[in-house]
Each structure stands twice: as C-alpha cells, then as structure tokens.
C-alpha cells in the first residue's frame, strides 16, 4: 500500500507539474480509521496529500462526471469500468481523462472489522502482507486481510484496471474460483412470499438519505425520479411503499450499467445490503445478453442498443 501511495504521488506530481492534466482526483488519508476522503489535487504540492490503502472503496468515477477540465483519476478495477461506462454514456470524453490504474487487492469492510472489535474502538490500522493489524484501547487484532474484504471485493474478477494510461503497480492475479452469484441464487430459490419478506426486512431501516444513489457513479441524472415533483413518482415518506419504489427503480436504472463496485453499500449509513438488488440485475443481464458493464469501449451497453439476436422470450 505504501508503494501504491508513493507511485500515485509521483505520477500526480509529474502530471500536474508537466501540465498534462489540470487536476488529479484521488484519496487523502481519512480522519478516522477505515475511512479515506476523495481529494482533488490542483498542484504538484498538493499531490503529496494523495494516499492509498484498503479504505478507498468509494468509486472515484463519481467525481469526474461532466467535468470539462483535463482530469487524472486514481482508479481501481471497478472504477475504471465505471469510467468506461461514463465514456460510453458521454459523461466525459476519453481524451480529457488520464487514468492512473490501481491493481486492486480488495477493499476492507469496516463493518465486518467493527463486528470483530465488538464495541471496542480501533485507533490505528496497518495493512501489510495480507494482514490487517488493528490496534485500539485494550485491543490488538491481527486479521487475515482476505477474510475482511467488502462483499463485492471478495467475489470480484476484475481487480485490474480495464482501461488505463499508466499503472501504479504490477497487475495482480485475478480471482478465478469465486462464486459471484451465490447470494442471488439464494434469493431466487426463495418462494415469492419469503422473497418479498426478505426484501422488506432488507430495507426496513432505510432513512431515504440517498447515500447509495449519490455514491454511485452511474446515478448522474440531473433530476432523479425520486426528486421529480410534476408528476411526483415517489412519496417522500418512509412508508415501505415509497422506500421500496426507490430501491427497486434505482436498481433497474442500473441494470447493465452497475459494475458492482460496492460504493452504494459502503456509503449506506444504516448498513443496508443494497447490492442484493443490483446483483440480481447484473446476473440477468449477463445471462440474457452476455454483457458485463464497463469492460470494453467497443461494445454498446446491452440495454441501450438493440441487437437482432437479443432474447425475446419476454414477448408472450
């Protein structure tokens, strides 16, 4: 991680001082454990604040949307897939982007580690050699890093950037023996009543803060459907009908566009596993159209282009 940080700073300093880009978007070290803050470096001096570790789970593609300057962006595998999606959806031209690709080893799940700490507080966290060393008052834990990754990271098969201008480290080995849709199949196997209840329980604590939506690079509509007032599609209360409508529609808007970066789930203040919705649609799009979002600039997203051989089984 130290090495990544050094490489990112060097590259940013070079790009900014050579005026190859106007700004560099990366992370700076957070003020509390397991958090880093998205950061905009405007000059070579500020490049020294850039930072990288296993707490960079927020997707930085979210910060380049509709920018008109020349931007370098620090991007993990999933972030680069969202950059590809952005380019395909005309949210930023490729020539304005300089991608500092980060071969990713997965991001830490702060909630899982918090559960391990069982109410005690971490003050200091170090990552090294596949271990996470967590220190706090009256506690010192050495955890196997691989066991404490965000859910999406532990099943990720695109850790390496799919599009980049330079890499900040050696490419990592992609995971192969992962079951990407175990969760989805578990839900699919439920009977309708059970499934309905599962989703009702899942979102019962939702406060409608829209952190999931706003953390998502693919949610960039100028006016989101939940904010429309004429007509008003969704009520603003926390009535289950309204909350449900929000989550269902949000998920459908992401069908064939979601890269499973996990930003939504990471952002949720209530710890709701919102990927349970998007993951199902990701699986369906893959099965129906053989499409995975953001892997290639040469292929239109499955749901924004008609192909003569598209499946038509839904027409009955």
Q: Where on the chain is the footprint of another protein (CB under 8 A)?
A: 30-32, 35-40, 42-43, 46, 58, 62-63, 111, 119, 121, 123, 205, 207-211, 213-215, 227, 229-230, 232, 235-239, 266-271
Cis ω for the linkage preceding 231 (within 30 of 0): yes
Nearer to another protein, 30 or 146 (CB): 30
Q: Nearest distance from residue 227's CB to another protein, in Å?
A: 5
Query: What are the two backbone dihedrals, phi and then psi, of residue 133, each rounded to the nearest 5 degrees?
Result: -105, 115
Q: Nearest distance from residue 214's CB to another protein, in Å?
A: 4
The single residue listed with the structure tokens 């008609």 is 306
Nearer to another protein, 35 or 288 (CB): 35
Nearer to another protein, 178 or 209 (CB): 209
Other CB atoms within a 10 A radius of the CB of residue 300 amount to 12
Nearer to another protein, 277 or 291 (CB): 277
Q: Nearest distance from residue 116's CB to another protein, in Å?
A: 13
Nearer to another protein, 232 or 307 (CB): 232
Nearer to another protein, 123 or 197 (CB): 123
Nearer to another protein, 73 or 302 (CB): 73
Q: Nearest distance from residue 218's CB to another protein, in Å?
A: 13
Q: Nearest distance from residue 254's CB to another protein, in Å?
A: 16
Q: Nearest distance from residue 26's CB to another protein, in Å?
A: 11
Nearer to another protein, 76 or 213 (CB): 213
Q: Nearest distance from residue 247's CB to another protein, in Å?
A: 15
Q: Nearest distance from residue 115's CB to another protein, in Å?
A: 8
3-state secondary structure string, the chain? CHHHHHHHHHHHHHHHHCCCCCEEEEEEECCCCCCEEEEEECCCCHHHHEECCCCCCCCHHHHCCCCCCCEEEEECHHHHHHHHHHHHCCCCCHHHEEEEECCCCCCECHHHHHHHHCCCCEEEEEEECCEEEEEECCEEEEEEHHHHECHHHHCCCCCCCCCCCEECCCCCCCCCCCCCCHHHHHHHCCCHHHHHHHHHHHCCCCCCCCHHHHCCCCCCCCCCCCCCCCCCCCCCCCCHHHHHHHHHHHHHHCCCCCCCCCHHHHHCCCCCCCHHHHHHHHHHHHHHHCCCCCCCCCCCCHHHCCCCCCCCCCCC
């Amino acid at each position: 991680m130290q090495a990544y940080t050094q490489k990112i700073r060097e590259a940013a300093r070079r790009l900014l001082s050579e005026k190859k880009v106007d700004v560099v978007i990366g992370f700076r070290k957070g003020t509390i454990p397991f958090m880093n803050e998205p950061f905009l470096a405007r000059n070579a001096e500020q490049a020294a604040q850039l930072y990288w570790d296993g707490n960079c789970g927020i997707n930085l593609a979210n910060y380049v949307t509709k920018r008109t300057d020349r931007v370098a962006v620090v991007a993990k595998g999933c972030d680069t897939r969202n950059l590809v999606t952005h380019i395909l959806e005309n949210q930023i031209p490729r020539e304005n982007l300089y991608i500092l690709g980060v071969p990713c080893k997965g991001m830490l799940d702060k909630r899982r580690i918090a559960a391990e700490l069982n109410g005690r507080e971490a003050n200091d966290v170090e990552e090294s050699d596949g271990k996470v060393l967590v220190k706090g008052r009256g506690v010192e834990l050495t955890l196997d890093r691989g066991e404490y990754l965000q859910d999406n990271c532990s099943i990720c098969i695109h850790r390496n950037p799919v599009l980049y201008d330079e890499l900040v480290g050696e490419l990592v080995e992609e995971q192969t023996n992962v079951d990407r849709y175990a969760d989805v199949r578990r839900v699919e196997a439920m009977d309708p009543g059970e499934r309905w209840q599962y989703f009702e329980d899942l979102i019962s604590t939702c406060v409608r803060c829209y952190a999931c939506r706003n953390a998502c690079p693919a949610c960039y509509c100028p006016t989101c459907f939940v904010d429309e007032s004429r007509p008003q599609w969704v009520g603003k209360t926390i009535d289950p009908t309204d909350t449900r409508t929000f989550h269902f529609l949000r998920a459908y808007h992401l069908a064939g566009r979601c890269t499973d970066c996990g930003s939504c789930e990471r952002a949720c203040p209530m710890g709701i596993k919102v990927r349970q919705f998007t993951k199902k649609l990701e699986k369906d799009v893959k099965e129906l159209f053989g499409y995975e979002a953001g892997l290639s600039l040469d292929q239109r997203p499955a749901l924004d282009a008609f192909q003569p051989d598209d499946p038509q089984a839904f027409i009955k």
